[in-house]
Amino acid sequence: MRNGRDKRRVKGVPREVELARIKEETSRKRRRRIVGWVASIGLLTTLATATLPNVITRIKDPIKAEQTVRISFEEALNNPNLRQTYLRQVADPLIKDVEQEFDAQGFIGRIVYDPNFEILEETSKKGLRKFAGDPKKEAYFRSTLRSIEEAREDREFGHLGQTFLPSTEACKRNPSDIHIGNLTFERAIVASEEDLKAIFDHELFHGVVYFRGMPIKKGLVNLNPKKDASMINPELISICDEVLAYHRELGLIEKGVRRVSSLFRQRTIATYNDFYLRLKAFTEVNNGSPEATFARGVLGSLEYHPGPRR
Return the half-sphere exposure (C-beta side, CA atoms, 13 A cut-off) of residue 120: 32
Question: What number of residues does the chain have?
Answer: 310
Write the CB contacts of 86 (distance below 8 Å, at least 6 apart in sequence): 71, 73, 75, 76
Write the CB contacts of 98 (distance below 8 Å, at least 6 apart in sequence): 104, 107, 204, 205, 207, 208
Check residue 285 and give its pLDDT. Answer: 78
Write the CB contacts of 109 (distance below 8 Å, at least 6 apart in sequence): 166, 175, 176, 177
Is 90 inside a domain boundary?
no
Count of the separate structural domains present in the chain: 2
Check residue 307 and give its pLDDT. Answer: 53
Is 32 inside a domain boundary?
yes
The Cα 109–Cα 177 span in angstroms is 5
Check residue 230 and give its pLDDT. Answer: 55
- Position with higher pLDDT, 2 vs 177: 177
The pair phi, psi for residue 180, each rounded to 5°, is -115, 125
In the predicted model, what is the mean pLDDT of residues 185-213? 95
Mean pLDDT of the chain: 78
Check residue 156 and give its pLDDT. Answer: 62
Give CA separation, 260 vs 75, 80, 188, 253, in Å. 19, 22, 13, 7
Q: Is the pLDDT of residue 128 over 90?
A: yes
**Residue 295: domain span:** 214-310
Check residue 45 and give its pLDDT. Answer: 27
Check residue 111 and give its pLDDT. Answer: 98
* Pick from 85-89, 112-116, 137-141, 193-197: least confident: 137-141
- Position with higher pLDDT, 43 vs 172: 172
Per the confidence metrics, is the pTM higher than 0.85?
no
Alpha helices in the chain (DSSP H): 15-60, 62-66, 73-78, 83-102, 118-130, 135-153, 193-212, 225-228, 234-254, 262-283, 290-300
The Cα 266–Cα 272 span in angstroms is 10
Q: What single-letter amino acid sits at 117?
A: F
Is 156 inside a domain boundary?
no
Would you say 54 and 48 are in contact if contact means Cβ atoms under 8 Å apart?
no
Write the CB contacts of 210 (distance below 8 Å, at least 6 apart in sequence): 107, 163, 165, 170, 171, 174, 176
In the predicted model, what is the mean pLDDT of residues 26-35? 42
* Pick from 58-67, 145-154, 275-284: least confident: 58-67
Is 208 inside a domain boundary?
no
In the predicted model, what is the mean pLDDT of residues 12-34? 50
* Pick from 13-17, 42-46, 127-131, 179-183: least confident: 42-46
| 284-310: pLDDT as tens digits | 876 777 788 888 888 888 988 775 544
Check residue 242 and give its pLDDT. Answer: 93
Q: What single-letter amino acid sits at 16?
A: E
Q: Is the pLDDT of residue 207 over 80?
A: yes
DSSP of 61-106? -HHHHHTTSPPPHHHHHH-GGGHHHHHHHHHHHHHHHHHHHHT-TT
Strand partners, 135: none
Is 115 inside a domain boundary?
no
CA dihedral 231, 232, 234, 237 (to 10 degrees): -150
Check residue 136 and give its pLDDT. Answer: 86
Is 286 inside a domain boundary?
yes
Check residue 153 and give its pLDDT. Answer: 83
Check residue 6 and give its pLDDT. Answer: 41
Is 119 inside a domain boundary?
no
| 32-80: pLDDT as tens digits | 433 333 333 232 222 222 222 332 223 333 334 345 689 999 999 999 9
In the predicted model, what is the mean pLDDT of residues 10-26? 53
Pairing label, strands 176-180, 108-113: parallel
